Protein backbone atom coordinates (compact mmCIF):
# COMPACT_ATOMS: atom_id res chain seq x y z
CA UNK A 1 0.00 0.00 0.00
CA UNK A 2 2.24 2.70 -1.31
CA UNK A 3 -0.33 5.52 -1.58
CA UNK A 4 0.83 8.85 -0.33
CA UNK A 5 -0.81 12.24 -0.11
CA UNK A 6 0.27 14.94 -2.53
CA UNK A 7 -0.54 18.64 -2.44
CA UNK A 8 -3.16 19.93 -4.86
CA UNK A 9 -3.91 23.50 -5.92
CA UNK A 10 -6.01 25.38 -3.40
CA UNK A 11 -4.26 23.95 -0.35
CA UNK A 12 -5.81 20.51 -0.27
CA UNK A 13 -4.34 17.06 -0.75
CA UNK A 14 -5.03 13.99 -2.84
CA UNK A 15 -4.15 10.32 -2.57
CA UNK A 16 -4.81 7.38 -4.89
CA UNK A 17 -6.38 4.46 -3.04
CA UNK A 18 -7.27 1.02 -4.32
CA UNK A 19 -10.42 -0.78 -3.27
CA UNK A 20 -8.64 -2.75 -0.54
CA UNK A 21 -7.12 0.40 0.96
CA UNK A 22 -10.50 2.14 0.89
CA UNK A 23 -12.08 -0.84 2.64
CA UNK A 24 -9.37 -1.03 5.31
CA UNK A 25 -9.44 2.72 6.03
CA UNK A 26 -13.23 2.74 6.24
CA UNK A 27 -13.30 -0.29 8.53
CA UNK A 28 -10.68 1.21 10.85
CA UNK A 29 -12.52 4.56 10.97
CA UNK A 30 -15.82 2.84 11.80
CA UNK A 31 -14.11 0.83 14.57
CA UNK A 32 -12.63 4.06 15.93
CA UNK A 33 -16.08 5.66 15.97
CA UNK A 34 -17.45 2.65 17.84
CA UNK A 35 -14.62 2.89 20.38
CA UNK A 36 -15.17 6.62 20.95
CA UNK A 37 -18.90 6.06 21.33
CA UNK A 38 -21.99 7.95 20.27
CA UNK A 39 -22.44 11.63 20.91
CA UNK A 40 -24.61 12.92 23.71
CA UNK A 41 -27.52 14.35 21.74
CA UNK A 42 -30.11 16.22 23.79
CA UNK A 43 -33.30 14.23 24.33
CA UNK A 44 -36.31 15.25 22.32
CA UNK A 45 -37.77 18.44 23.74
CA UNK A 46 -34.66 19.29 25.81
CA UNK A 47 -32.68 22.49 25.41
CA UNK A 48 -29.79 21.90 22.96
CA UNK A 49 -27.84 24.71 24.63
CA UNK A 50 -27.76 22.68 27.83
CA UNK A 51 -25.74 19.99 26.01
CA UNK A 52 -22.99 22.55 25.42
CA UNK A 53 -22.55 22.94 29.17
CA UNK A 54 -22.91 19.29 30.13
CA UNK A 55 -20.10 18.01 32.29
CA UNK A 56 -18.13 14.99 31.19
CA UNK A 57 -16.48 12.18 33.12
CA UNK A 58 -13.96 13.00 35.83
CA UNK A 59 -12.05 9.71 35.74
CA UNK A 60 -9.82 8.44 32.94
CA UNK A 61 -11.16 5.60 30.78
CA UNK A 62 -10.21 2.08 31.83
CA UNK A 63 -9.60 0.93 28.22
CA UNK A 64 -5.90 1.61 27.45
CA UNK A 65 -6.72 2.79 23.92
CA UNK A 66 -9.30 5.29 25.17
CA UNK A 67 -6.91 6.37 27.91
CA UNK A 68 -4.36 7.08 25.16
CA UNK A 69 -6.94 9.05 23.14
CA UNK A 70 -8.09 10.97 26.23
CA UNK A 71 -5.01 11.23 28.47
CA UNK A 72 -4.81 13.01 31.82
CA UNK A 73 -3.83 16.65 31.47
CA UNK A 74 -1.74 16.75 34.66
CA UNK A 75 0.51 14.03 35.97
CA UNK A 76 0.61 10.42 34.92
CA UNK A 77 0.61 7.11 36.69
CA UNK A 78 0.02 5.99 40.22
CA UNK A 79 2.72 8.24 41.69
CA UNK A 80 0.83 11.45 40.78
CA UNK A 81 0.06 13.50 43.88
CA UNK A 82 -3.55 14.14 44.97
CA UNK A 83 -3.53 17.80 43.98
CA UNK A 84 -2.49 17.03 40.39
CA UNK A 85 -5.02 14.20 40.29
CA UNK A 86 -7.75 16.67 41.29
CA UNK A 87 -6.65 19.17 38.60
CA UNK A 88 -6.67 16.41 35.98
CA UNK A 89 -10.14 15.32 37.08
CA UNK A 90 -11.52 18.85 36.79
CA UNK A 91 -9.89 19.42 33.42
CA UNK A 92 -11.28 16.13 32.08
CA UNK A 93 -14.76 16.94 33.37
CA UNK A 94 -14.91 20.14 31.34
CA UNK A 95 -13.03 19.07 28.18
CA UNK A 96 -13.54 15.37 27.41
CA UNK A 97 -16.99 15.77 25.85
CA UNK A 98 -15.60 18.35 23.40
CA UNK A 99 -12.61 16.14 22.63
CA UNK A 100 -14.89 13.17 21.96
CA UNK A 101 -17.06 15.31 19.71
CA UNK A 102 -14.05 16.49 17.69
CA UNK A 103 -12.70 12.96 17.36
CA UNK A 104 -16.13 11.77 16.18
CA UNK A 105 -16.23 14.58 13.60
CA UNK A 106 -12.78 13.56 12.35
CA UNK A 107 -13.76 9.89 12.08
CA UNK A 108 -17.03 10.71 10.35
CA UNK A 109 -15.19 12.92 7.84
CA UNK A 110 -13.01 9.93 6.91
CA UNK A 111 -16.00 7.61 6.50
CA UNK A 112 -17.95 10.17 4.48
CA UNK A 113 -14.95 10.97 2.29
CA UNK A 114 -14.38 7.32 1.50
CA UNK A 115 -18.10 6.70 0.92
CA UNK A 116 -18.19 9.60 -1.57
CA UNK A 117 -15.45 8.08 -3.69
CA UNK A 118 -16.64 6.71 -6.96
CA UNK A 119 -14.24 3.92 -7.76
CA UNK A 120 -13.12 4.13 -11.35
CA UNK A 121 -13.02 0.47 -12.23
CA UNK A 122 -10.85 -2.03 -10.38
CA UNK A 123 -8.02 0.45 -9.89
CA UNK A 124 -9.69 2.34 -7.05
CA UNK A 125 -10.08 6.10 -6.92
CA UNK A 126 -8.34 9.36 -6.12
CA UNK A 127 -9.45 10.93 -2.85
CA UNK A 128 -9.28 14.74 -2.96
CA UNK A 129 -9.42 16.65 0.30
CA UNK A 130 -10.05 20.31 1.00
CA UNK A 131 -7.83 22.03 3.58
CA UNK A 132 -10.57 21.49 6.20
CA UNK A 133 -10.88 17.82 5.21
CA UNK A 134 -7.10 17.51 5.60
CA UNK A 135 -7.35 18.62 9.23
CA UNK A 136 -10.11 16.08 9.94
CA UNK A 137 -8.15 13.32 8.23
CA UNK A 138 -4.98 14.21 10.08
CA UNK A 139 -6.83 14.02 13.40
CA UNK A 140 -8.42 10.67 12.51
CA UNK A 141 -5.15 9.16 11.24
CA UNK A 142 -3.46 10.23 14.46
CA UNK A 143 -6.26 8.73 16.57
CA UNK A 144 -6.13 5.47 14.59
CA UNK A 145 -2.37 5.20 15.12
CA UNK A 146 -2.70 5.95 18.83
CA UNK A 147 -5.40 3.29 19.17
CA UNK A 148 -3.52 0.62 17.22
CA UNK A 149 -0.26 1.55 18.95
CA UNK A 150 -1.99 1.10 22.30
CA UNK A 151 -3.27 -2.33 21.26
CA UNK A 152 0.26 -3.27 20.15
CA UNK A 153 1.80 -1.88 23.39
CA UNK A 154 3.91 0.63 21.47
CA UNK A 155 5.33 3.19 23.87
CA UNK A 156 6.74 6.61 23.06
CA UNK A 157 10.16 5.46 24.17
CA UNK A 158 10.65 2.46 21.90
CA UNK A 159 8.75 3.87 18.90
CA UNK A 160 7.87 0.30 17.92
CA UNK A 161 11.27 -0.69 16.54
CA UNK A 162 10.59 -4.35 17.34
CA UNK A 163 7.47 -4.21 15.16
CA UNK A 164 9.60 -4.02 12.03
CA UNK A 165 11.16 -7.39 12.87
CA UNK A 166 7.98 -9.40 13.48
CA UNK A 167 7.84 -12.66 11.53
CA UNK A 168 4.98 -13.06 9.06
CA UNK A 169 3.55 -15.83 11.24
CA UNK A 170 2.97 -13.42 14.17
CA UNK A 171 -0.79 -12.76 14.59
CA UNK A 172 -0.06 -9.07 15.23
CA UNK A 173 1.51 -8.64 11.79
CA UNK A 174 -1.65 -7.34 10.00
CA UNK A 175 -2.21 -4.77 12.74
CA UNK A 176 1.46 -3.76 12.54
CA UNK A 177 1.20 -3.33 8.77
CA UNK A 178 -1.87 -1.11 9.23
CA UNK A 179 -0.04 0.90 11.92
CA UNK A 180 2.96 1.50 9.67
CA UNK A 181 0.81 2.29 6.62
CA UNK A 182 -1.28 4.81 8.58
CA UNK A 183 1.97 6.40 9.76
CA UNK A 184 3.13 6.84 6.17
CA UNK A 185 -0.22 8.36 5.18
CA UNK A 186 -0.11 10.67 8.19
CA UNK A 187 3.45 11.77 7.42
CA UNK A 188 2.72 12.59 3.78
CA UNK A 189 -0.47 14.44 4.73
CA UNK A 190 1.47 16.57 7.23
CA UNK A 191 4.04 17.35 4.52
CA UNK A 192 1.32 18.53 2.11
CA UNK A 193 -0.14 20.82 4.78
CA UNK A 194 3.17 22.57 5.49
CA UNK A 195 3.72 25.89 3.67
> Domain range spanning residue 130?
10-43+98-193
151 found inside a domain? yes
Q: Are 68 and 154 in contact (CB under 8 A)?
A: no
89 found inside a domain? no
64 found inside a domain? no
- Supply the pLDDT for residue 5: 95
117 found inside a domain? yes
Q: Give the count of domains, the chain.
A: 1
Give mean pLDDT, residues 133-153: 95
| Digit-coded pLDDT (tens) for 157-173 | 555 567 778 888 989 89
pTM of the entire structure?
0.84
173 found inside a domain? yes
Compute CA distances 50 → 91, 100, 172, whole Å: 19, 17, 44
168 found inside a domain? yes
Query: Which residues, at least 6 apart from 34, have a Cβ–Cβ distance to it below 8 Å?
Result: none
Q: Are 148 and 175 in contact (CB under 8 A)?
A: yes
Amino acid sequence: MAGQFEAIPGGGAAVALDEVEISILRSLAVQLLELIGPGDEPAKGEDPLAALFAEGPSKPPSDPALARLFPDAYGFGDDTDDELREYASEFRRFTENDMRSRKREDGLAVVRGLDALSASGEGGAVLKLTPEDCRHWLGALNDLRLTIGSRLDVSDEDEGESLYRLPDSDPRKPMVMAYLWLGALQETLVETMMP
